Amino acid sequence: MKVMIAVTHLLGTGHLSRALVLGRAFAGAGHRVVLVSGGMPAPHLECGSVEMVHLPPLRSDGTDFARLLDAGGVPAGPVLMARRRAALCRALTGLAPDILITELFPFGRRSLGQEFLALLEAAGSLPRRPVVLASIRDILAPPSKPARAEQTDTVIARHYDAVLVHSDPQTTPLSASWPVSDMLAAKLRHTGYVTDGPATPHPGGDGTGEILVSAGGGDVGGPIFAAAIGAARLAPGQTWRLLVGGGEASLAAVRHAAAGTGAKVEPPRRDFRQMLHHARASVSMCGYNTALDLMQAGTPAVLIPFDAGKEVEQALRAQSLAALPGIEVLRARDLAPQSLADAVARAIGDRQKRPGRRFDGAARSVAIACSMAEARP
């Protein structure tokens, strides 16, 4: 079958990373996959045999997701947005997919609503309409007002066959973060958590005995890296490795600040998941992908949920994990070198085996989507 996945990451790279996991799962099952990405380049992510189509890229202005900037930092105008819509629809008609998946929309990305709706209308006009699915993580940003949820329901009812919810409803029901109407409930398909499966230990042992500090591929980890550098000075016997996203300027600034501490500073690494097997502890935010990586590796972890701009998703996820052994949650307002060093010590001291979760969500998503596509008249 032919599968198209449409995703635009605006701040970090978590949405693109999860979409690529799904894409690789479809490709691994023998399907042709085209992933259309509308965010900034993320070369540290593995595409595998997924065919990539890049729209003129956009990013948010920090946590202001309604203000979109182009690659040069200039506010996106109508000409650029029209180019994106045209390119997105060309990719659809050129592939004529059996399955169309939109990442997050219509539960989010309202600032890109015109291009996603253009895509959905174009899909409905194809000679053979594809199965249309929304793909969402375990926890969403709750709607700011009831009308937002009602608008989402309207789009789902008109255009979507089902919603793939990448979580375990016994652990994190969608209703914990989003109002679920009767119509929406009937379209939900819980897949389990979407990951590439457990990583193997790093063949070179990279990360052994280290404190791995990461903040995804975006440029939002400054306070975490600053606190980690301070903690490295407080505990010179520890080896800290900081994986800094956001490009060369961010990397250079952190390297300068870390001079003399012995901390290793480098860009995000594709083998991060393998390094977790050997790490003494991890320090990170609490995005979907990072949380699952930590759960599978069993690494002691300090979670610092991203909460700028009224974001609550990561705080809700961290709260659900806080009771597990070897997990410490440190709020951003409490982040400082000493509090981070203390939290790392507590996490390391509480290392125990954690209860299992369902991590076969990618394979289950493929099975659900393909079954629906095969059942089309």
Q: For 143-163, what is the mean pLDDT?
A: 96
Cβ proximity of 199 and 274 under 8 Å: yes
CA dist 164 and 282 (Å) reads 29
Q: For the chain, how big is the Rg over CA atoms in Å?
A: 21
pLDDT confidence of 69, banded at 50, 70, 90? very high
Domains 2-197+359-374 and 210-349 alike in fold: yes
Kind and range of the H or E run holding 27 = helix 14-28
Tokens 């065919």, residue?
51
CA dist 133 and 130 (Å) reads 9
Q: Which tens digits make up the pLDDT trace of 35-46? A: 999 999 998 899
Q: Which tens digits make up the pLDDT trace of 106-139? A: 999 999 999 999 999 999 999 999 999 999 999 9
Amino acid 18: pLDDT: 94
Amino acid 168: pLDDT: 85
Q: Which tens digits make up the pLDDT trace of 155-203? A: 999 999 999 999 988 878 899 899 999 999 999 999 999 988 788 899 9
Amino acid 251: pLDDT: 93
What is 2-197+359-374's CATH number, 1.10.3720.10, 3.40.50.12280, 3.40.50.720, 3.40.50.2000?
Answer: 3.40.50.2000
Name the average pLDDT for the chain.
93
What b/e readout covers 237-253, taking b as 16+ CB neighbours within 10 angstroms? ebbbbbbbbbeeebbeb
CA dist 78 and 85 (Å) reads 10
Q: Which tens digits make up the pLDDT trace of 343-361? A: 999 999 987 665 566 789 9
Cβ-Cβ contacts under 8 Å for 374 (sequence gap 6 or more): none
Q: For 237-241, what is the mean pLDDT?
A: 93
368 vs 64, higher pLDDT: 368
Tokens 């979907």, residue?
288
Cβ proximity of 41 and 52 under 8 Å: no
pTM for the model: 0.82
Give whole-number Cα distances, 222 to 227, 232, 338, 353, in Å.
9, 15, 17, 31
CA dist 136 and 169 (Å) reads 13
Q: Which tens digits make up the pLDDT trace of 290-330? A: 999 998 899 999 999 998 877 888 998 998 888 889 999 99
List the end-to-end C-alpha distance of the chain, in Å, as a whole number: 15
Phi and psi at residue 26, to the nearest 5°:
-65, -45
Q: What are the boundaries of each domain within the chain? A: 2-197+359-374, 210-349
Kind and range of the H or E run holding 83 = helix 78-95
What is 210-349's CATH number, 1.10.340.30, 3.40.50.2000, 3.40.50.620, 3.90.1310.10?
Answer: 3.40.50.2000
Q: Which of 27-31, 53-57, 242-246 has the lowest mean pLDDT?
A: 242-246
Amino acid 353: pLDDT: 60
147 vs 44, higher pLDDT: 147
152 has pLDDT over 70:
yes
Give whole-number Cα distances, 368 to 162, 276, 321, 361, 374, in Å.
10, 31, 28, 10, 10
Q: Which tens digits make up the pLDDT trace of 71-104? A: 999 999 999 999 999 999 999 999 999 999 999 9
- 268: number of CA atoms within 13 Å, CB side? 24
224 has pLDDT over 70:
yes
Q: For 253-266, what is the mean pLDDT?
A: 95
Cβ-Cβ contacts under 8 Å for 205 (sequence gap 6 or more): 278
Amino acid 356: pLDDT: 60
pLDDT confidence of 219, banded at 50, 70, 90? confident
